[in-house]
Amino acid sequence: MCRATLIALLICPLVVVAAPVQTERLRIDYQVISDGLEHPWSVAFLPDGGYLVSERPGRLRRITADGTLLAKPISGLPAIEASGQGGLLDIVLHPDFERNRWVYFSFNEAGADGMGTAVGRGRLHDMALRDTEILFRLEPKSNYGRHFGSRLVFDRQGLLYITLGDRGQRPRAQDLADHAGSVIRLRDDGSIPADNPFVGHPGVRPEIYSFGHRNIQGAVLHPASGRLWTHEHGPQGGDEINLPEAGVNYGWPVITHGVNYGTGTTIGEGSEKPGMAQPLYYWVPSIAPSGMAFYEGQRFPAWQGNLFVGSLKFRLLVRLEIEDGQVVHEERMLQDELGRIRDVRMGPHGLIYLLTDADDGQLVRLVPAD
């Protein structure tokens, strides 16, 4: 475990690459803060310098500022259905966490009609969540084990965005009576904002903000504009970056830049259709994106304003340069150095943090090479 102090900015040589990694713009090292995590999905940074990490099998773990993974999981979570791609997924702290102690989490919940993504919150006190409550449940549930989403993001007004997958049932993403395949927008207490685009529309789920998404597993606010950016898994090809807007249809499965697995045949009506939004950027072949963060620190000045995306499929980190709201360059780094990258976060002290998806997953930090 890392034994560095906060005064040293938590930079210590626990596990550092044998030689610095040369990227296009600078040299970097990486350090393992903690290992022994079972398929970690999300990391949040605590004010005391420690970390919360969700493990997909259903445990919320606490790592101290010196890198010690505490043996006992945090108690107080609701029943979690660890099945297929589902389990305990994203975690995020309330913007006013230091005062109210609210931790928000998304998870797979079982019910009478199957299972589906739900979002809850609880107040963190030492090693327990108290006052736990469920704020949102995807409806209808199903028995499919795929495409749960799900990232949680607070905007600058304190509204909560929840990203949902189509649950592996394509037509659901175009059905406004169904939460699947959408971005959800709520107040922090789970109530529905009056200006949500479908409030008052009969037969439409009023929590829906945008729809026509396949499986969003990356979401972040742009540091300058405050706009929500997301990425989603395509089928065989067609992973997308989108900037969700109120009431907009992003096309899945009517349009996509991907094709059917195995056969390579066209899905839906092709790659574009009037009234359906095009992605800002897409990948063919797919990279299987997961986790996303803008860089806005001072430790890597050459990366200022760049967007970082993890790749599960190619086991690497993607760096995207953005100019005038468009992606103008892509770099791929750390291929096969760490494994499947599940989460990417802009963390304390201007450093980038990664989680690796494995039976023995790791919390890793990128640092400038000396």
Matching residue, tokens 């290992």: 35
Residue 147 is a catalytic residue: yes
The answer to whether residues 117 and 149 touch, using CB atoms and an 8 Å cutoff, is yes
Task: Decide: helix, strand or coil at residue 171.
Answer: helix
Whole-number Å distance between alpha carbons of 347 and 53? 13
* Rounded Cα–Cα distance for residues 356 and 370 (Å): 24
Half-sphere exposure of 10 (CA within 13 A, CB side): 27
Catalytic residue from among 94, 147, 213, 257: 147
Tokens (6 digits) for 161: 């965005």
Phi-psi region of 334 (alpha: psi -120 to 50; beta: other; left: phi over 0): left
Q: Which residues contact 263 (CB under 8 A, 6 or more apart)?
A: none
Provide Rg for the chain, Cα atoms: 20
Enter the tokens of residue 260.
């059917």
Residue 28 structure tokens: 């970097």
One-letter amino acid for residue 336 of the chain = D
- Cross-strand bridge partners of residue 363: 34, 355
Return d(Cα 42, Cα 90) in angstroms, integer.
Answer: 5
| Amino acid identity, position 62 | R
- Number of Cβ within 10 Å of residue 22's Cβ equals 11
Element (H, E) at 98: helix 97-100
What are residue 174's phi and psi, to 5 degrees? -105, 0
- SS3 category, 153: strand
Quick count: other Cβ atoms within 10 Å of Cβ 131? 11
Q: Catalytic residue numbers?
A: 147
